[in-house]
């Protein structure tokens, strides 16, 4: 029964990763790649100052995006789980939060253009309010727009697992807390938050993995002015430098798996489903 699954993952997940590991030791000329066993790609990668800067930038995106998606996701899930009283409404509003997940990310990125552009809605509104005198340039094609797009695209990856965990919290625990004299904030901090931890962890895994591995959001929203590791790999691919792209990919994969591995120690995914 598990055969087809193992076959698909074997051919399209394990084999590609093995292939990338192998190719990362190969050599490349300007137009072709040839089998070899060289450490050049890694040596170059680790000796270049650009690598460290780009990795640092990737971590920065992940950390900032995580903070925003967590605060927004937790608040939204908390509202749905504890303040909406009928199950029908909970399901309806929850679906409303998840529907964009099933639509195209690229179009959702494109749709920020009329907002953030030089003559976009944000600038013209701010100018008509007199907040600024001339259009702000850093709204589109900047770190700001990259992170805005990340938060826009990935907050629902936080909302869904946190809501799922919150719905399983026994409501009598909340009552018990308030009977014992806890204030609303104390209940939130000492009861709800600890019980929601598994959901938060699953959401964190999604957001961290998606942001760390992204290349398209950064390319599109920064107008190719900022870089993350995914962009670095994609640049090498565009130049047909597959071995060096592979070496970067291997390092990225190790980083992501290490991070996720640490996060997985805090949560048993199969039990939380």
Element of type H or E holding 27: strand 27-28
The H or E element containing residue 34 is strand 33-34
Rounded Cα distance, 162 and 195, in Å: 10
Instruction: Rank residues 47 and 88 by Cβ distance to another protein and give the closer one.
Output: 88
Q: Could you tell me the smallest distance in angstroms from the CB atom of residue 228 to another protein?
A: 10
Which residue, 97 or 195, has its beta carbon nearer to another protein?
97
- Shortest Å distance, C-beta 148 to another protein: 9
Complete DSSP assignment for 114-153:
HHHSTTSHHHHHHHHTTS-SS--SSSSSSHHHHHHHHHHH
Q: Find, among 15, 3, 24, the residue nearest to 250 by Cα.
A: 24
Closest contact distance (angstroms) between CB of 49 and another protein is: 23
Query: Shortest Cβ distance from residue 102 to another protein (Å)?
Result: 4
Are 110 and 152 spatial neighbours (Cβ–Cβ below 8 Å)?
A: no
Provide, rounded to whole angstroms, the least separation between the CB of residue 184 and another protein: 7
Cα 72 from Cα 191, distance rounded (Å): 19
Write down the residue that tokens 């990362």 correspond to: 24
In the complex, the smallest distance separating the C-beta of residue 20 from another protein, rounded to whole angstroms, is 5
Contact yes or no for 268/199 (Cβ under 8 A) = no
In angstroms, give the least distance from the CB of 48 to another protein: 19
Q: Is 38 helix (H, G, I), strand (E, B) or coil?
A: coil
> Which residues are within 8 A (CB) of 112 and not within 5 positions of it... i.e. 6 or more apart?
140, 145, 148, 149, 152, 221
Task: Decide: helix, strand or coil at residue 107.
Answer: helix
Chain-centroid distance of CA 14 in Å reads 23
- Residue closer to another protein, measured from CB, 103 or 172: 103
């Amino acid at each position: 029964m598990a055969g087809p699954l193992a076959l698909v993952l074997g051919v399209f997940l394990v084999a590609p990763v093995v292939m990338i590991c192998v190719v990362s030791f190969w050599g490349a000329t300007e137009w072709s790649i040839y089998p070899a066993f060289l450490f050049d790609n890694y040596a170059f990668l680790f000796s270049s100052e650009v690598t460290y800067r780009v990795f640092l930038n990737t971590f920065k995106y992940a950390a900032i995006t995580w903070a925003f998606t967590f605060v927004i996701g937790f608040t939204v899930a908390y509202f749905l789980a504890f303040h909406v009283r009928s199950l029908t409404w909970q399901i309806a509003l929850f679906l409303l939060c998840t529907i964009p997940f099933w639509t195209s990310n690229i179009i959702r990125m494109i749709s920020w253009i009329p907002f953030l552009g030089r003559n976009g809605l944000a600038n013209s509104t701010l100018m008509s309010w007199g907040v600024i005198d001339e259009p702000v340039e850093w709204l589109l094609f900047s770190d700001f727009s990259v992170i805005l797009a990340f938060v826009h695209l990935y907050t629902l990856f936080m909302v869904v697992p946190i809501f799922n965990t919150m719905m399983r919290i026994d409501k009598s625990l909340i009552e018990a807390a308030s009977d014992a004299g806890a204030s609303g904030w104390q209940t939130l901090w000492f009861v709800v938050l600890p019980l929601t931890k598994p959901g938060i962890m699953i959401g964190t895994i999604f957001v961290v993995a998606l942001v760390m591995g992204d290349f398209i959001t950064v390319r599109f929203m920064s107008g190719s002015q900022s870089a993350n590791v995914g962009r670095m790999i994609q640049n090498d691919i565009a130049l047909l430098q597959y071995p060096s792209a592979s070496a970067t990919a291997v390092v990225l994969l190790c980083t992501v798996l290490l991070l996720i591995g640490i996060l997985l120690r805090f949560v048993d995914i199969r039990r939380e489903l």
